[in-house]
Structure 1
Amino acid sequence: MAQGKGATRQAYFLTDPNKYGRFKKMSRIVLTHPNPDATPVRNQSLVTSDIALFTNLTTMTICNNTLTGKSLRNICLCPTLSTVTVNNCAVPYLPGQMAKLERLEHLDVSFNEITFIPDAVCKLPKLKTLKARGNRVTTLKSIKSLKHSNMTVLDLSENFVETVAPKDNQSPTLRDLDLSSNRLRSFSMKASDWPELRSLSCSDNKMTSFTIMFRVRKAGEGKLSRLLLSSNRLIKIPNTVYDLRDLEILDISNNLIDLVPGNIRGLSKLSSLDVRRNRLKALTLDIFCMPNLTSLDLSHNMLVRANYDAQTGPGVQLSEALKSLDLSYNRFPDIPTIVILLRGLEKLDLSHNEITKSELELPENGPDKRKEGTKLKTLNLGGNKLQNLPLVWWSKLSQLTELDLSGNDISVIPPEVVNISQNCNVNLAGNPLQEPPYSVCRWGFSAISDFYKDLSEGEDTFCSLNVLVVGARDSGKTVLVHAIRRSEARFVSWVPQPTIGVEITDFELQMPDQNTEQMSEMDAFLGGLPASKCPCDKLNVRTWDFSGDPSYSGFYRFLPASTRLVLLVTDLSRFTPDSFAVNVESWFTNVSSLLRSPVVIPVATHLDVITGEDVIQSRCRTLLRLLMELTQRRALEIRTALSEAKVSLNIHGGELAREKVAELEGILKTQPVVYSSVFSVSAITGRGIEALKQIIRKCAINPKMVPEVTRTLPKSWLVVRDGIRKETMPVVNVQYFRESLLSLVPSGLIQSQVKVIASYFKETGDVVYFPDIPGMEDDVILRPSWLVEKLSAVIRHDMEKTLSWPLEGKKDCLRKLGVSKKDFFRMRREVSEKAWLDSRLVKCLWEEPPETYNRVLMTIIEQFSLGCKVVSMETVQLQDRTSSDVPDKATKARAFTQKEAVKVMFPFYLWNERPVELNQAWPKKCPLTSQEVSVTYRLQGSSTTGTFRSLIVRYRLIKPKVEFLHMWRDGAVFKREADNRAFTFLMTVESARETSGTLALSVRTGKSREALQAVWEVLLPLLMEVERLFAQLTGARVDRYSSCPRCRQPSFIGQWTHPEAARTSGGTVCSHCKDRVELGYLVPPRDVTSVTNPEDGRTAVVTELDEPKPHTSVNDSVTATQ
């Protein structure tokens, strides 16, 4: 295939003189095989002897083909070649005819089956670079005549070299030698045999010894400046390293080294030292006294001390060149004093230690460099145990621009921070912030400063509480809310309709004086806090009563982030230990994933149908016991997973492992607190209702459990909230919102605070505001109840029952939008058959909202993956037909036309079963006869069904578009095109419980390496959508697996979409079927060969295809595609 500008065609290029005759002056040709499923042409050389006709050819690239010896010999017919690349072509040897390539400068034969490099290659007069990565070379002796070559770069990484001895080989010109990822156990060489060697890499081997031997040292002997010894088995820094006086870069990371001796100071030219992932426990001053050292990485060790020593410190000249110091993932209990004495330091990483104190105590005899100023610009203290801001130290860091304090225990940012420079970007995520709230802190220190300034002009108490009410279907949640809402005891005998989505209810609770004697049990649960008078006379309560159907999980995204109090409702009349997993555990797990440190109050209902008080008490004790065991088991599982993640982090490292550790640490810190007894209540008799109200009041005034209620806010902010609640319009733009705020607060509200205030009231549930969502930046929803009401009108189980002709109260709307009775019933059928709801019906169900409201609602539906627009063609009847009583055929044809119709696809309507015709093409359990790449996500803490429905919407919106062939309640088959090839995917979900299960994504492939490459290229973007969706599931735990292509079991842990994902080769054994599986089916293959246009000359890409088609050229360039 030849690539250039213009149109694209298929062609046999080098096998037909009539095709390539006009391109003989091209300077660059790339040979590849983009159609791995095509049957190769037998008895035909990919490169024929006619290649000699290309007299200007300088670059030849061959990738992913099976070359014959004849093809390799034919390449040598082009003496003008200066660069030859033959990658992944199963080449067993290099022919002697390569001696003819006297102009060859760069030769790359990586990923073949070569065992030696012949004399003919090494003696090429102009050869400078030889890359033989990923072959079968076992010793340096296999590089024949190396000492007679002029090579400067030799890459033998990923081969089978086991030892390097002084007599193996030598080179007077070689400057760069790469032996990484071999099987080296020892390395020994004479410096005099490699006089020009500048860079040596022996990383990722099994070396226990490393030696470079010198004679009586001569000037210029041993010029090594870069030495990489990472990922070996060295127990100390080899003594020979200290003799490398010209060394500038030294990497000894991921070994077993426990000491960096003082000899290291002898390496006066060293600029970069990497000692991470070793076993260092202490440091001396020597490592900080190297005059030219600019970067030092000591992360992932066991360091507990790196302080200035008053006894040995005086007289020691600390380095002023050191700019970057990484001490992360160690065991420092406080900030080492040495770091502030390094005057030139610009970047310091102390994250993930055990630092509790943020201030420094310098030794009495130590040089106080703080008087001379510091150049520190970036400081990372994330993942420690800090409880206070390092204000004193921070105030002296005048040049600091980045400060990371995430993942600590900081709860209060004091007002003194106003006096500190606000030019510094501060990350406070993952802290239990209470003052000011995180929704203020996330906007930076300017917002915090404005908050405290507003607070100084007048303050008041928030006195509002959000309560989440969850439980299984028919557990009595709605009746319970109405019973709590009443100010006086009344009997509740009505049976409400099932909740659709969520029902929001506002009411007030009086806050009487607390009685310490009567509330002793509650006070013990609340942490033993002394009873005090609540600053609020009345408590504004907003309950979020969610449907007991887990299919409505999408509505949880509108739950305020400040929600802490949860009523977990259980129907005690139907409760058994066997039903605990479905009716209680699943909802408890969901709550634990959604909220940060929730307070869960178990409530038992339907007592009136239970005979005997002893039965009630027995079931309540069983319910509480199972809840406590569940809490302990969940915490134990997270701690175990955290321990395993830390072990993986220490062994393998990488950003991926760090993210996993940080995620699990965050989940562990925000575990739910379960009340110590079950509240048994009856909405009919009023039993237990007052006690339940009392515990709600008690939790509300406890700032440790529910910080929002007793929070002190600027009085102007509360005036704004009262104005929001009086506003009649449900949706306003930011400009109107700003003008309203300015009119409510005449003293002059800073306009920059408008978004801060909107974000805070979004967190408290007073407004809905999404400044980060495209299309929603300028819209503020002032009534959350209006939003959930409109969404519940179109996202509901009984939609087909709701759509009865004519719609109740909507007949005028249907007539206005031109919906006839026939159209109506056709639209109704589309609901069950295609999960489509016509946009005209949507408008009528929403009571014809203004266009602005309609746009806001549709944007939310698409952005939260609840549904998406679909444009379809449908046949409609023309209004201006002829008046003929008996129209002819032409008239009949003109009486109808095709018209675009806008539908809204709601995966929520998918309730049909898996199509029978798919069982043979995609069997559920039977092993497949053809190969398949399949990835599986195991999800805990979120609904897999809800996740599947969200993915349906996301895949509808991505480009290139996905064509769905079949969809059902727990799966879909869809097709996607890439590189003019169609790939068919199967996506299925299986729910083990309401909030756990698996999601699998599979695609068929051929058996060649190229087929796997193409499959992964089209699969990875889809997996990225899954990852982005999971990133929004707060607290949900996700395990990723690759499935065996033979038994289809999720056998192999995978992290395919991360930038640090493994790109390994070889094979492994399935733990289920015990068959060996090529890793290409489990992780993405190696590098994808890319074809680029040359800077000068033309580029030709040659390929073998099944059916050649006529070839054309545009602008003297050749292009081809499938």
Structure 2
Amino acid sequence: MSRFKRGTKADSLAGFRADSPDTSHTAVPHGLLKAARKSGQLNLSGRGLTEVPQNVYRLNVDTPEEAKQNVSFGESDRWWEQSELTKLLLSSNQLTQLSDDITLLPGLTTLDLHDNQLSSLPGALGELQELQQLRLSHNQLTSLPVEMCTLKNLRSLTLQQNLLQSLPEDVGMLEKLTELDLSKNNLQGLPSSLGHLTCLQKLNLSHNKLSCLPDSLAQLISVKLLDCSNNQLTDVPASLSEMPVLEQIYLRHNKLRLLPKLTAPMLKELYVGNNQIEQLETEQLACLTAISLLELRDNKIKSLPEQITLMSTLTRLDLTNNDISTLPAALSLLPSLQVLLLEGNPLRGIRRDLLTKGTNELLKYLRGRIKEEPERADEGHTAMTLPSQAAVNVHNIRSLKLLVFSEKQASDIPGEIFDAAADQGVTTVNFSKNQLTSVPSRLLEFQSSVSDINLGFNRLTCCSPAICQLLQLMHIDLGNNQLSDLPPDMKNLTKLRSVTLNFNRFKSFPDILYHIVSLETVLLGNNQVGLVDPCGLQKMVHLTTLDLSNNDLLSIPPELGLCTSLRCLGLEGNPFRTPRAAIVTKGTDAVLEYLRSRIPS
């Protein structure tokens, strides 16, 4: 309600008096409303509102208060020329309901209600036919009104972190939708009409209770990213192969026993970690004709078939924490493989120090086991020699989004290298085995796309804060350098999954890593680490692999045993006395169990 009633004399001291307690949660500053009439935008986020004030709903209906008081207007204050409200931000309040009066704002294109306490929505929401963006995440919604399905112009709908158990059958009517986020709900099934969303590009179904996916998903002809992680899927419909532009599919943390057979022609990244896969079938591998990244970590795979060489486009293979005891020498014949992760496997016949030297050394060793090395195809047709005499594989940059300038012993990266990769959406950068003393600043040119960086085997003494701006980064290798600290802004890397810091000069576990909750793998072997914080490690709820071997740990805190997500804990080569070597050799589970038994009751 307005501060002044019609026909009463204005109180000249009103601006100096505090608002009365009973209106403090619903009052909207007069200046904000006035500005909103000019701009068409109103931001009321984080104001402790328990309900939307009536004068917000009636912003474009009622005559402004200043007009009622016969205030003279300048050219910039012509209220009768006001803009229709198009953007209303109400996030991070305490709203429990939305009034039908929302229909008084028919021009809204953006409505942000995320982070409130809404348990239901009015059907009147369906009358906002201009709405393009609707944010409803972090509420308590158990269902959606069917009227919402009439929002023909809606392009982005975010509903993550609610209590949804089902979707309206008519959800397929949202024909212009390009982004749909349904993660972290209680969905047990999906309507078949979901397949009618032919403009959809991103579909997030992670963290639900889905045991199967409808065949109609195959009709999503524009979807590039499909996330079904953290569900209860035992298989994936073969029809997903018909999705013509699907590039990334996440199936982590499900109940898959076999690698899905996916012949999707554009599929470049397949994430199936944390499942129950025991063996890889040749038929499934042969389907992945364009695959660049294959994540199989935290499964039960015992061996790799020789036919893995069929995956000629593979650049990154993550086999962390499986049951692999031997590697086929044919693995070394994968022409594009740059990163091979094998931590946490009971490998026999391969020295541990060889594993720490990186992928290139391991592949060289495997090639040496092939009696007659196959003749390599001449790469002259795909390589371009630049004035700096640096060979750049243009085919790898354009087709595989892979930029390699490795083993050149260079003190800096030639500008021509970056020029060749400009605007190519590079996802993987390998500048390892050079003489770099600082992180190349031009890496920032790839900040919208790069997810994997290898700067191992250089001479870095500090990690540039510029790295912290690469927000898509998921893997970084800084091993075999001269680092002793990491920049505090690394906490911004919320997608980071693995960090390699072996063979550096760290004297304690880098404090900033405790704050990167997404981390799954931390390799910190062969440093001078003398201290770890078990409480900090417990907060890293996704951490499954931790290598602290060959450091200066004089004692292992018993509370480390509470880090139950760990599947691979490397402690060999430290000077501690307990747990005894006999326990350490029994493996991670035995060590954690021993540590838990030492926690004072």
How far apart are the structure 2 equivalents of 1:198 and 1:207? 20
> Equivalent of 1:255, from 231, 240, 250?
231
Query: Does 1:326 pair with 2:295?
Result: yes
1:189 is aligned to 169
Alignment of 1:731-746 (within 5 A): none
Q: When you count strand as a share of all residues, which structure comes out higher?
A: 1
How far apart are the structure 2 equivalents of 1:402 and 1:203? 39
- Over 3 Å counting, the alpha-carbon distance change for 1:172 and 1:666 in structure 2 is farther
Conserved? CA contact 2:107–2:128, under 8 Å: no
Alignment of 1:933-952 (within 5 A): none
How far apart are the structure 1 equivalents of 2:330 and 2:456? 24
Alignment of 1:572-591 (within 5 A): none
- Over 3 Å counting, the alpha-carbon distance change for 1:45 and 1:83 in structure 2 is farther
Conserved? CA contact 2:258–2:278, under 8 Å: yes
What is the DSSP-based 3-state SS (H/G/I as helix, E as strand, rest coil) of the residue aligned with 2:199? Answer: coil
Displacement of 1:255 in angstroms is: 0.8
Alignment of 1:58-97 (within 5 A): 67-71=24-28, 75-78=32-35, 79-97=37-55
Conserved? CA contact 2:259–2:272, under 8 Å: no
- Counterpart amino acid of residue 46 in structure 2: N
Query: Does 1:131 pair with 2:112?
Result: yes
- Over 3 Å counting, the alpha-carbon distance change for 1:402 and 1:86 in structure 2 is farther
2:315 is aligned to 346
Percent identity over paired residues: 21
Alignment of 1:898-917 (within 5 A): none
Conserved? CA contact 2:249–2:271, under 8 Å: yes
- Over 3 Å counting, the alpha-carbon distance change for 1:179 and 1:76 in structure 2 is same
- Counterpart amino acid of residue 91 in structure 2: S
Alignment of 1:423-572 (within 5 A): none
How far apart are the structure 2 equivalents of 1:231 and 1:68? 34
> Equivalent of 1:173, from 136, 148, 153?
153
- Counterpart amino acid of residue 248 in structure 2: S
Conserved? CA contact 1:282–1:306, under 8 Å: yes
Conserved? CA contact 1:137–1:160, under 8 Å: yes
Q: When you count helix as a share of all residues, which structure comes out higher?
A: 1
Displacement of 1:124 in angstroms is: 3.1
- Over 3 Å counting, the alpha-carbon distance change for 1:197 and 1:16 in structure 2 is farther
How far apart are the structure 1 equivalents of 2:180 and 2:169? 12
1:231 is aligned to 207
Conserved? CA contact 2:149–2:172, under 8 Å: no
Query: Does 1:377 pair with 2:351?
Result: no
Alignment of 1:453-852 (within 5 A): 645-646=563-564, 649=565, 662-663=568-569
1:241 is aligned to 217
What is the DSSP-based 3-state SS (H/G/I as helix, E as strand, rest coil) of the residue aligned with 1:200? Answer: strand
Q: Which has the higher contact order (CA 8 A, sep 6+)?
A: 1
Alignment of 1:872-951 (within 5 A): none
Conserved? CA contact 1:117–1:144, under 8 Å: no
How far apart are the structure 1 equivalents of 2:366 and 2:234? 32
Conserved? CA contact 1:276–1:299, under 8 Å: yes
- Over 3 Å counting, the alpha-carbon distance change for 1:87 and 1:336 in structure 2 is farther
Conserved? CA contact 1:83–1:105, under 8 Å: yes
1:163 is aligned to 143
- Counterpart amino acid of residue 308 in structure 1: T
How far apart are the structure 2 equivalents of 1:325 and 1:236? 22
1:294 is aligned to 268
Query: Does 1:386 pair with 2:362?
Result: no
What is the DSSP-based 3-state SS (H/G/I as helix, E as strand, rest coil) of the residue aligned with 1:209? Answer: coil
Displacement of 1:125 in angstroms is: 5.0
- Counterpart amino acid of residue 188 in structure 1: P
Conserved? CA contact 2:126–2:147, under 8 Å: no
Displacement of 1:116 in angstroms is: 3.4
Alignment of 1:1053-1092 (within 5 A): none
Displacement of 1:596 in angstroms is: 7.5
How far apart are the structure 2 equivalents of 1:88 and 1:667? 52
How far apart are the structure 2 equivalents of 1:670 and 1:401? 41
- Counterpart amino acid of residue 114 in structure 1: L
Aligned length: 384
- Counterpart amino acid of residue 245 in structure 2: K
Conserved? CA contact 2:252–2:272, under 8 Å: yes
What is the DSSP-based 3-state SS (H/G/I as helix, E as strand, rest coil) of the residue aligned with 2:241? Answer: helix
Query: Does 1:267 pair with 2:219?
Result: no
Alignment of 1:45-60 (within 5 A): none
- Counterpart amino acid of residue 214 in structure 2: P
Cα RMSD after superposing both structures: 4.8
What is the DSSP-based 3-state SS (H/G/I as helix, E as strand, rest coil) of the residue aligned with 2:55? Answer: helix
- Over 3 Å counting, the alpha-carbon distance change for 1:113 and 1:187 in structure 2 is same
How far apart are the structure 2 equivalents of 1:381 and 1:675? 23
- Over 3 Å counting, the alpha-carbon distance change for 1:357 and 1:188 in structure 2 is same
> Equivalent of 2:59, from 80, 100, 114?
100
- Counterpart amino acid of residue 107 in structure 1: L
> Equivalent of 2:253, from 277, 284, 297?
277
Conserved? CA contact 2:25–2:50, under 8 Å: no
How far apart are the structure 2 equivalents of 1:185 and 1:597? 51
- Bigger Rg, structure 1 or 2: 1
Conserved? CA contact 1:147–1:169, under 8 Å: no
Displacement of 1:169 in angstroms is: 4.7
What is the DSSP-based 3-state SS (H/G/I as helix, E as strand, rest coil) of the residue aligned with 1:180? Answer: coil
- Over 3 Å counting, the alpha-carbon distance change for 1:168 and 1:669 in structure 2 is farther
Could you list the per-position Cα deviations for residues 971-1023 of structure 1 after superposition, in whole angstroms to 9, with x for gaps in the alignment?
xxxxxxxxxxxxxxxxxxxxxxxxxxxxxxxxxxxxxxxxxxxxxxxxxxxxx
- Over 3 Å counting, the alpha-carbon distance change for 1:673 and 1:213 in structure 2 is closer
Unaligned runs of 5+ in 1: 1-14, 20-40, 47-65, 363-368, 404-420, 428-441, 445-559, 562-591, 599-633, 650-659, 677-704, 706-1035, 1039-1049, 1052-1122
How far apart are the structure 2 equivalents of 1:92 and 1:594? 54
Displacement of 1:165 in angstroms is: 6.1
How far apart are the structure 1 equivalents of 2:128 and 2:185? 28
- Over 3 Å counting, the alpha-carbon distance change for 1:77 and 1:148 in structure 2 is same
How far apart are the structure 2 equivalents of 1:319 and 1:669? 48
Displacement of 1:260 in angstroms is: 2.1
Displacement of 1:597 in angstroms is: 11
Displacement of 1:150 in angstroms is: 0.9
Displacement of 1:242 in angstroms is: 2.8
Displacement of 1:332 in angstroms is: 1.8
Query: Does 1:112 pair with 2:88?
Result: no
Displacement of 1:222 in angstroms is: 3.7
Displacement of 1:104 in angstroms is: 3.0
Conserved? CA contact 1:205–1:231, under 8 Å: yes
Could you list the per-position Cα deviations for residues 836-890 of structure 1 after superposition, in whole angstroms to 9, with x for gaps in the alignment?
xxxxxxxxxxxxxxxxxxxxxxxxxxxxxxxxxxxxxxxxxxxxxxxxxxxxxxx
2:180 is aligned to 200
What is the DSSP-based 3-state SS (H/G/I as helix, E as strand, rest coil) of the residue aligned with 2:44? Answer: strand
| TM-score (normalizing by structure 1) | 0.30
Conserved? CA contact 2:200–2:220, under 8 Å: yes
How far apart are the structure 2 equivalents of 1:156 and 1:596? 48
- Over 3 Å counting, the alpha-carbon distance change for 1:402 and 1:307 in structure 2 is farther
Displacement of 1:181 in angstroms is: 0.7
How far apart are the structure 2 equivalents of 1:335 and 1:104? 60
- Counterpart amino acid of residue 263 in structure 1: S
- Over 3 Å counting, the alpha-carbon distance change for 1:596 and 1:357 in structure 2 is farther
| TM-score (normalizing by structure 2) | 0.53
Displacement of 1:300 in angstroms is: 1.3
How far apart are the structure 2 equivalents of 1:16 and 1:344? 74
